[in-house]
Amino acid sequence: MTLRGLRTVLGVLLADARAHRLQTLTTCVGIAVGVAVVVAIRTSSQSALSHFRDTVQTFTGVATHELHGPAPLPAARLAELLEAPGVTAAHPVIESHLVLDLGAEGARPVRLVGIDPFLSAPFLQLDDTAVEQASAAGLFERLMLEPGFVLMASSTLADAGFPDGGVLPARGPTGPVHVVAAGVDSSSLAAGQPPVALADLATAQELLGLGDRVTRFDLLVEGAPDAIPLQPGERLQKPASRGERAETMTEAFRLNLLCLGFLAVLVGAFLAFNMAQFAVVRRRTLLGRLRCLGADARTVLGAALLESACLGFVGSLLGLGLGWLLAREMVDDVARTVSTLYGYIETPAARLDVVTAALALGVGTIATVAACWAPARSAARTEPAVVAGRAHAPGGLVPPWVPGLLLAAGGLLLAPPSAVVLPALTVLVWLLAVATALPRLLGRVVGRVVHRPVLALAFGRLHRSLSRTGSAAGALAMPLAMTIAILVMVGSFRAEVMAWSRSIFGADVYVKPLYQELYADTARLSPELLDALGEAPEVLAVDRLRLAEQPRGETSFLVAGSPLEATRMRGSMRVLDGGDVPTLMAAMDRGEALVSEPLARRLDVGPGDVLRLDGRDGARDVPVAGVFQDFSWDRGYALVSEPRFLELYGDTGVRNAALLLAEGADAEAVARRLSARFGDAEFRSTETLRGEVLRAFNDTFAITYVLQTISTALALVGILTAVLCLHLERRAELGVLRALGARQKTVGELLVTEALVLLGVAGAVAVPAGLALAWVLVSVVNTRSFGWSFPMLVEAGPVAGLLGLALLAGLAAGCVPWWMVRRAPVADLLEDRR
Amino acid sequence: MTDAVVAACRDLRRVYGDGPTAVVALDGVDLELRRGEVVALTGPSGSGKSTLLHLLGAMDSPTSGSVVVAGRDLAGLDDEAASRFRNEHLGFVFQFFHLIPSLSVVENVALPARLGGATPAEANAKAAALVERVGLGGRGDRLPDALSGGQQQRVAVARALVNDPALVLADEPTGNLDHASGGEVMRLLLELAQERGIAALVATHDPQVRDFSHREVVLEDGRLATPPTS
């Protein structure tokens, strides 16, 4: 093999690829789609998380640690902190949001950061020019003295259309307020979204209704912070850890989607494999001529692999662009998830980073080369004699032990009980096993030949081309199995979420503070509102929900306190362990706790165990009475009675409330009436809330629908290429049949039968394989990554619909070569002229 | 056309393409083939041999002139009729045998009969007898790959005869065989043609085919270089 020879053969193959644009494009698109899914998932989640991290870290400045409490902390705590060993400086910080009312232009959130200008000086990293500008204009004095005064970046004010120095109406967690916004040229104030409004601590407290409380303290600590005395429920963390925590928490979510993304790459690679097989058959004479002219087998192999690398690279580049476009659509959903779970962020721009781009190009190109390895070897083994029509392009079966080995390897990957990535890999490995097992399976099926000329011929032709048809059936079974798995997994999950939403939303109307997502740390329902709701004529009972964050190692979980009136009256709770609802309610009344399934799995606790909770009076061991199913928070939470919560954490305020209405009351109408009466809270009926849950579910799994569509499309292309491949290889045979008197109809029957047999075998393997994959996704990946368990539900309708679609595709796939044969003169078919 | 004439071409012309790039493959060919007669069709490559076989085999239509085989003018046959005609009245033997590799010897021979509507039992019985006749008795269940080239071509000859055709068209039947095997195949074809009263037109470059033919016609640049009958 010489370099010049390699370049020459590669040039010939690429020219041939250019001449057959549709096939080349199909290969590239298959890879592109797989790569696009990976890029979209990675880019959207990275963008949202990096945005969250940037937002979190803006204004943490040089602080080494942050002190957070289960609720806003008293500002007086500062004095104790400054005296703590190792603390060289500390300052109180308020960080929350305000919603500016822009009239006809709607509402715009701003991030309100409240600081003490004197104490905060060592911490803040404001630009020098901004400080000079603010000092010269007397803005720092106004910051400290003028009620409602905030400093913002001039660029932000201009971009958002806020008048510099103007009075803006706004809404805080306690109701309407006014701010006066002045602009300075500051890049640090302009950083992050939503835009930052810097306020004096007292101003921020007033705007947010915090009294003398702050949301955290930033500390400069020398050495280890172990000696800092912490109050019960307080936690000390590094500034970056809030972002890291969100990343850890969303890791499982991202991993699931990424696994599906890599599955899409695998399916794309199988399509590339199919197309490469197709190309080998189509190029039989071309390859023979090259071999006749002196190209040795290694040169042909090298050139074929280089060609596949070129196609893979082009496909990956396409996928990069497509993925970026897809990410722009997806980033909004991911940002919403992060906002819901970890704190409000605005939708960031999707930013494609170098690592993602390199990963996409690498994965796409390598997957294509790997997929084309076997066809390239087949091309290299082409004998020069094929030019004279005296030899066929060689094929090859996968050694019989390979599928078994892959199955066993996949099984082993399931063995480690806590692994999340490995079971996902099992899915990939088992799919490969299915694909490699198919050639032999197909051989056994076609061995039982039915004695009818057309069927006998169809089975015989399939059997003869086993190396090709088997792998084609494998390539077809892959996307089918994957689609079935996704259909079943999402269907099971959806059914369970629907059932759960019926049980968890046992009340009729749900109440939360306005803009709660913005004021997660501070927003509370006022006692006056709760009293008024309790006295409303249509309201039977009010379920108050109180929440406290409980640090546990590097992460945390929530403790919720509620009277659970709805659960008591309507029995609405899905208990997994610990007895029936009345038993558990009685246990809660005795001070025991219930834990949600994700928390039970995370902490490995169940009925009979104790849960250590750090309350305001120190650590308390609370017995666990039962485990219940809940999809609200993937971190999981513990549920205690309201008196027990107040005893542990004191009155930290009511986050949400649920109203039980008198029998026959129209919840929607009541929600509307209450919304009109109480402007500071949002009222939603159970039906509305269920709709939102379903919408959130669909948003989260939107990418799986994309994957499902892709898989179906690839399956359809797969069957078409498989049948075309077979047709091209045995075209002369059809000529013989026609010469011997076979009618067009007979040839059509033969080709459609072949397509349907191929499809039947692929389907017969894809259905059980898909169900097995669904089981892995449902019972292993989801349980281990989310902590959610739900039974696998196989809905016959969607699976039958998919198989029906595949059947139609099979018929179409048989008709395409038939149409080609119909157009070709018998003499051309006989001499294999095309 | 007398009863003895199985196939006749009159002023046959076939032109591929049009305008300045048009290629005249056959130009005014007149030819008659009689029952039991084996005719060698020779001529250099590109002289029009295959075109003539395709026109006689109802696989192509002439630009002008007529083709009559077994008393039927092939002009105007639609695909359905042409297929049925080939099945009932014509047999084909190809250079590369073109047996269906997934079918056994008997199944290959029986295939035209089954395509014509015969039951498997009828077709297989007829095929088995023919397989015996071509000297491959006992090998009926084998796949074509298990046979030598000469044996495969004998299977192809048997297949060409299974529906008792009026005319067998053979395209270089010895082209892929050694001299001895080629001779055996031609001897068999000659015997069977005479035995069954079948006409055979054998396109060939192989000089020994002349020894097994009743006469030779030569095509040069699409025209017959010898008289249409001897």
- Percent residues over pLDDT 90 in chain A: 7
- CA-to-CA distance for A689 and A704, rounded, in angstroms? 23
Q: Is A34:A266 a contact under the CB 8 Å cutoff?
A: yes
Q: Which two tokens stand for residue B111?
A: 């295939």
The C-alpha atoms of residue B188 and residue B95 are separated, in whole angstroms, by 16
Confirm or reject contact between B102 and chain A (CB < 8 A). yes
Return the number of other C-beta atoms located less than 10 Å from residue B181's C-beta. 18
Shortest alpha-carbon distance between residue A273 and chain B (Å): 26
Residue A333 is encoded by which pair of tokens? Answer: 């959903």
The ipTM assigned to this model is 0.84
Calpha distance A455→A750 (Å, rounded): 7
Kindly determine whether residue A740 and residue B96, on different chains, have CB atoms separated by under 8 Å.
Answer: no
B14 at interface of A, judged by CB pairs closer than 8 A: no
Which residue carries 């008659």 as its tokens? Answer: B32
pLDDT at B230 over 50: no
Residue of B83, B88, B168 to mutate when probing chain A, most A C-beta within 10 A: B83
- pLDDT tens profile A534-543: 888 888 888 8
Q: Which tokens go with B113?
A: 């009969």
Q: Which amino acid, one-letter code, is at B119?
A: T
Q: Mean pLDDT throughout A197-203?
A: 88
Average pLDDT rounded to a whole number, residues A775-790: 73
pLDDT of B200 above 80: yes
The answer to whether B210 faces chain A, any CB pair under 8 Å, is no
Rounded mean pLDDT of A650-673? 86
pLDDT of A55 strictly over 60: no
Residue A208, pLDDT > 90, answer no
Chain B residues within an 8 Å CB radius of A737: 111, 115
Cis preceding-peptide flag for A194 (omega within 30 of 0): yes
Amino acid B38: pLDDT: 95
User: Does residue A376 have a pLDDT over 70?
Assistant: yes
Among candidates A428, A394, A390, A393, which has minimal Cα distance to A260? A428
| pLDDT recorded at residue A386 | 59
| pLDDT single digits (tens) A675-685 | 888 767 888 88
Supply the pLDDT for residue A391.
Answer: 47
Rounded CA-CA distance A431/A481 in Å is: 8
pLDDT at B151: 94
Secondary structure of residue A67 in the 3-state scheme: strand
Q: Would you give the distance in Å from CA B57 to the centre of its chain?
A: 8
Query: What is the least distance, in Å, from the CA of B104 to any CA of chain A?
Result: 10
Provide the residue ranges of all domains of chain A, joining segments of one domain with +: 1-60+240-395, 65-238, 509-664
pLDDT at A388 over 60: no
Chain A: residues touching B (Cβ < 8 Å): 389-390, 451, 453, 456-457, 459-461, 463-464, 732-733, 735-744, 746, 825-827, 830
Cβ A740–B50 below 8 Å, yes or no? no
Greater model confidence, A626 or A702: A626
Strands B38-42 and B215-220: parallel
Nearest to B114 among A390, A453, A827 (CB): A453
Render pLDDT for B67-105 as a digit per residue (tens, 0 to 9): 999 999 998 888 888 888 999 999 999 888 888 877 889
Min Cα separation A463/chain B (Å): 7
Residue A576, class by beta-carbon neighbours within 10 Å (0-12 exposed, 13-18 middle, 19+ buried)? middle
Pick from B65, B23, B67: which is nearest to B48 by CA? B23
User: For the residues A341-350, what does the mean pLDDT come to?
Assistant: 63
Q: If you average pLDDT over every residue of chain A, what do you get?
A: 78
How sure is the predictor about A445, in pLDDT bands with cuts at 50, 70 and 90? low
| Chain A residues within 8 A of B98 when measuring between CB atoms | 732-733, 735-736, 830
Residues in A closer than 8 angstroms to B84, CB to CB, are 741, 743
Q: Using a CB-CB distance cutoff of 8 angstroms, which residues of chain A are in contact with residue B101? A: 460, 464
CB contacts < 8 Å between A and B, how many?
80
Other residues' Cβ atoms within 10 Å of the Cβ of residue A224: 9
For residue A582, give both structure tokens. 């009345």
User: DSSP secondary-structure letter at A776?
Assistant: I
Residue in A closest to B114 by C-alpha: A453
Q: Does A457 sit within 8 Å of B102, measured CB to CB? A: yes
Question: How many helices (DSSP H) and strands (DSSP E) are in chain B?
Answer: 6, 10
- Given a cut of 80, whether residue A522 has pLDDT beyond it is no
Tokens, residue A131 = 């400080």
Where does residue B63 rank: exposed (0-12), middle (13-18), buried (19+ CB within 10 A)? Answer: middle
Residue of B100, B102, B116 with shortest CB distance to A741? B116
A251 CB contacts (<8 Å, ≥6 apart)?
none
Maximum distance among all Cα pairs of chain A, rounded to whole angstroms: 103
- As a whole number of angstroms, the distance between CA A259 and CA A262 comes to 5
Lowest mean pLDDT, pick from A743-752, A823-832, B21-30, B139-148: A823-832
A741: nearest CB among B86, B98, B120: B86
Report the run of H or E that residue B218 belongs to, with start and end: strand B215-220
B50 touches chain A (CB under 8 A): yes
- Chain B hits for A740, Cβ within 8 Å: 86-87, 92, 111-112, 115, 159
Q: Is the pLDDT of residue A465 over 70?
A: no
A828 against A533, higher pLDDT = A533
Helix then strand then coil, % of chain B, to nearest 5:
40, 25, 35
Helix and strand numbers, DSSP H then E, in chain A: 29, 21
Q: Which residue has the tokens 């809660």?
A: A588
**Cβ A45 vs Cβ A342: under 8 Å:** no
**pLDDT in the model for residue A339:** 62
Note the pLDDT tens digit of each residue in A215-268.
Answer: 888 888 887 777 788 877 677 877 655 555 555 545 555 666 666 677 677 777
DSSP state, residue A777:
I
Distance spanning both ends of chain A, measured CA to CA: 31
User: CA B90, CA B159: separation in Å to the nearest integer?
Assistant: 11
pLDDT at A564 over 50: yes
Which single residue is written with the structure tokens 């000696």? Answer: A227
Rounded CA separation A381/A384 (Å): 9
Across residues B197-211, what is the average pLDDT? Answer: 92
Contact B54 A738 (CB under 8 A): no
Nearest to A741 among B84, B120, B176 (CB): B84
* CA distance from start to end of chain B: 16
The mean pLDDT value for A646-671 works out to 87
Pick from A464, A741, A825: CB nearest B112: A741
Would you call B87 an interface residue with chain A, using a CB distance cutoff of 8 Å? yes
Cα–Cα distance for residue pair A636/A642, rounded to 1 Å? 18
CA distance A22 to chain B (A): 28
Q: Determine the residue of chain A that is closest to B50 in CA distance.
A: A827
The pLDDT of residue A516 is 67
> Sorting pLDDT into bands at 50, 70 and 90, what band is A393?
very low
Do B83 and A464 count as a contact with CB atoms less than 8 A apart? no
3-state secondary structure of A575: strand
Residue B100 sits at the chain A interface (C-beta within 8 Å): yes
Q: Indicate the residue of B54, B107, B115 with minimum beta-carbon distance to A741.
A: B115
Least Cα distance to A180 among A96, A93, A98 occurs for A98
CB contact under 8 A, A456 and B107: yes
Chain A CB contacts of B96 under 8 Å are: 389-390
- The pairing of beta strand A637-640 with beta strand A555-561: parallel
Q: How far is CA A168 from CA A99, A157, A617, in A?
A: 10, 12, 43
Distance (Å, whole) CA A149 – CA A386:
86
Cα angle vertex B126, ends B125, B127, to 5°? 90
- Interval A659-664 mean pLDDT: 86
What is the SS3 string spanning A286-342? HHHHHHHCCCCHHHHHHHHHHHHHHHHHHHHHHHHHHHHHHHHHHHHHHHHHHHHHH
- Of the candidates B166, B94, B106, B158, the residue with the CA atom closest to the CA atom of residue A732: B94
Provide the 8-state DSSP code for A779: I
pLDDT (tens digit, 9 = 90+) per residue, A291-333? Answer: 767 778 888 889 999 999 999 999 999 999 988 888 887 777 7
Structural contact between residues A163 and A152, judged by C-beta atoms closer than 8 angstroms: no
How far apart (Å, rounded) are the C-alpha atoms in residues A546 and A544? 7
- B67: which 2 tokens? 């083709």
- Per CB-CB distance under 8 Å, the chain B contacts of A732 are 98
For A617-646, how does the pLDDT look when each residue is reduced to its tens digit (9 = 90+)? Answer: 788 899 999 998 877 776 788 999 999 999
| CA gap A826, A747 in Å, rounded | 12
E strands of A599-674, at which residues? 610-615, 618-628, 637-640, 656-661
DSSP 8-state code for residue A163: P
Cα–Cα distance for residue pair A475/A727, rounded to 1 Å: 17
Nearest by Cα to A715 from A533, A499, A541, A482: A482
- Which of B50, B92, B176 is closest, CB to CB, to A740? B92
Rounded alpha-carbon distances, angstroms, from residue B156 to A503, A510, A708, B95, B107: 75, 84, 50, 10, 12
- SS3 at position B166: coil
Run of H or E including A154: helix A154-160
Work out the average pLDDT over A130-150: 80
Residues 6 or more apart whose CB falls under 8 angstroms from that of A583 comprise A625, A626
Chosen for mutation from A729, A740, A828 (greatest number of chain B CBs closer than 10 Å) is A740
Q: How far is B82 from chain A (nearest CA, A)?
A: 8
Contact A736 B98 (CB under 8 A): yes
Contact B16/A at CB under 8 A: no
CA B12, CA B28: separation in Å to the nearest integer?
Answer: 5
Q: Measure CB to CB from residue A826 to each of B59, B96, B98 and give the nearest one.
A: B59
Write out residues 170-189 of B within 8 Å (CB-CB) of A: 176
> Is B75 at the interface with chain A, CB within 8 A?
no
Domains of chain B and any CATH numbers:
36-50+79-224 (3.40.50.300)
Across the interface, of B88, B92, B102, the residue whose CB is closest to A739 is: B92
Looking at the partner chain, which of B60, B86, B100 has a beta carbon nearest the beta carbon of A827? B60
Q: Looking at the partner chain, which of B80, B96, B176 has a beta carbon nearest the beta carbon of A743?
A: B80
- pLDDT of A122 over the 70 cut: no
pLDDT digit string, tens, across residues B17-69: 888 888 899 999 999 999 999 999 999 988 999 899 999 998 888 999 999 99
- Residue B217 to residues A486, A605, B15, B222: CA-CA distances in angstroms? 69, 98, 21, 12
pLDDT digits (tens, 9 = 90+) for A399-439: 677 778 888 888 787 776 655 556 667 776 777 777 777 76
Going by C-beta distance under 8 Å and a sequence separation of 6 or more, which residues neighbour residue A301? A376, A377, A379, A380
CB atoms within 10 A of CB A183: 23
CA dist B221 and A238 (Å) reads 93
B162 strand-pairing partners: none
Is pLDDT of A277 > 90?
no
Q: How far apart are CA A760 and CA A530, in angstroms?
A: 63
Does the CB of B70 have a partner CB in chain A at under 8 Å?
A: no
Among chain A residues, the shortest Cα distance to B80 is held by: A743
φ, ψ for residue A96, nearest 5 deg: -155, -155
Q: Report the residue of chain B nearest A447, measured CA to CA.
A: B102
Q: Which residues contact A131 (CB under 8 A, 6 or more apart)?
A: none
> How close, in Å, is residue B100 to chain A by CA atoms?
7
